[in-house]
Amino acid sequence: MSINRDKYSIDNTDYTVGQDNVQKWGFDVHNPVFGISASLIGLFLVAILLVEPETSKSFLDGIKWQIIATFDSLFMWSANIFVIFCLALIVSPYGKIRLGGDDAKPDYTRMSWLAMLFAAGMGIGLMFWGVAEPVSYYTGSYHTPLNVTAYTPEAAQLALGATMFHWGLHPWAIYGVVALALAFFAYNKGLPLSMRSVFYPILGDRTWGWAGHIVDILAVIATLFGLATSLGLGAQQAASGFHHVFGIADSLGLQITIIIVVTLIAVGSVVRGIDGGVKVISNINMLLAIVLLVFVALVTLAVSMGTIPMTIMGYVENIIPLSNPMGRADEAWMHGWTVFYWAWWISWSPFVGMFIARISRGRTIREFLIAVLLVPTTVTILWMSVFGGVAIDQIVNNIGTLGSEGLTEVPLAMFQMFDALPLGNFLSILAIILVLVFFITSSDSGSLVIDSITAGGKVDAPIPQRVFWALIEGAIAAALLWVGGTQAIEALQAGAISTALPFTIILLVMCVSLIMGLRTEQRKR
């Protein structure tokens, strides 16, 4: 065992930080975080394998709904605070601070940077829910937002607005808080790129003790749960697409095969690192997504152009009532959708936030937050307007499968919408490819993030360690599909919600710690 001691500067004072790291078999791990995280994940998998899937799902679902019912106001108000906090930083004098110092230069072009942050933050989710979510709200498949009457023009506008509410400013503000805090303390204060570093102004040297270990362990577990669920959803949608287009049986074997193949590709990419792997695949992601979006928009031009202003108006008019948890007549809808989404984004924030931080050196805080909040929100408005708007139009005019049968299977909804469009098979094949590429990007970026946390904040950990985490992510998703299919994925979602509760408190404290750090930087400048 070797003890590496480095110096990090806070408030112009040097503090000596001891980190116990083990280097063995090509690994360079931070002992408490790596060992405890791996052990907890192992215990979870053993429990899933040994206990009946229905029992596991029932137990985790009970925890999930208890958390949602008890802490709904905490989740709702916290998300609002994060939006206000980010908008305030944009217009404040702190916005001029450059991540990495006044002379720092961006590591990536603006286009590559935007492509990577967008692909990591939303990716598979837009493909999975872009049609299904607005259709669900419009038809009232599971209640309706603000108790609007289903199948009405008001329901159409609110369906698109409520969908944007879940995928717009609020989630990206959550990601933005974590990403900005990590980038600032890593690049401006010289601390390791790890969740614990953000709390140095509050915890001092205790950051490197068990308080910091707990923060990092929670970050690893939340990231693994979120990634495994995403990989499972992506495999289900890709398998549904293969069945829909090529007639291949949508079986558990096909889903696991997809996970294995994509994981192996992701391993190759993660070995190449951000520059040679993740950046290239993210750029491919963005190109394919633009091609798909533009093509669908052009062949449905009249509908798409009409739904874009409808989505914007639905979002702007309803963002305040949808943000308010008090006295809601649609509490069942709010719990089932909004509170779940806010908890879900918070559980994903260590993963997305740390990845965005890794690629954002050289940006000013103002540029950083404008890009992180407004650019993805704008793209998502276009995406949801086109895909969700066309799907709702098909239902209104009784066109295709969606028009005749409504929302039957969520993974199939997008492909059913394509069937009623010109070149429907081509669009479905392109969508399958895009799902798989998003799949690879999520696995890549997640592996790099977990690798950094378990290596004590290092960003250049050994290749075998990157491969280990990429394989672990695929193995978790495959094992959960094997033992319980959809039920296991839903149970894992419940696990992610459980990790979101303590992380909500962590994010609120993070805002305070970030302001403390920014004040010292502003005084120095």
Sequence length of the chain is 525
Tokens of 115: 């492509």
Q: pLDDT tens-digit profile of 465-514?
A: 777 777 888 877 777 677 655 565 666 667 677 888 888 999 999 999 99
pLDDT for position 354: 84
pLDDT for position 420: 94
Prediction pTM value? 0.88
Q: pLDDT tens-digit profile of 304-335?
A: 999 999 999 999 999 999 999 999 999 999 99
Residues of the chain with pLDDT below 50 are: 1-26
pLDDT for position 177: 97
Query: For the chain, what percentages of helix, strand and coil (3-state, to nearest 5) are there?
Result: 80, 5, 15
| Contact of 420 with 391, CB cutoff 8 Å | no
Which residue type, as a one-letter code, is found at position 438?
F
Tokens of 253: 């074997």
pLDDT for position 469: 78
pLDDT for position 343: 87
Question: How many whole angstroms from its chain centre is CA 16?
Answer: 34
**Spatial distance between the Cα atoms of 276 and 272, rounded to a whole number of angstroms:** 5
Distances (CA, A) of 497 to 156, 348, 474: 29, 10, 20
**Spatial distance between the Cα atoms of 417 and 132, rounded to a whole number of angstroms:** 10
pLDDT for position 510: 96
Backbone angles phi, psi at 452, to 5 degrees: -65, -45
Tokens of 14: 């040097």
Tokens of 141: 């498949």
pLDDT for position 314: 97
pLDDT for position 492: 62
**Terminal-to-terminal C-alpha distance of the chain:** 41
| Contact of 411 with 280, CB cutoff 8 Å | no
Q: CA torsion, points 479, 227, 435, 394, in degrees to nearest 10? A: 100
Tokens of 348: 């994903």
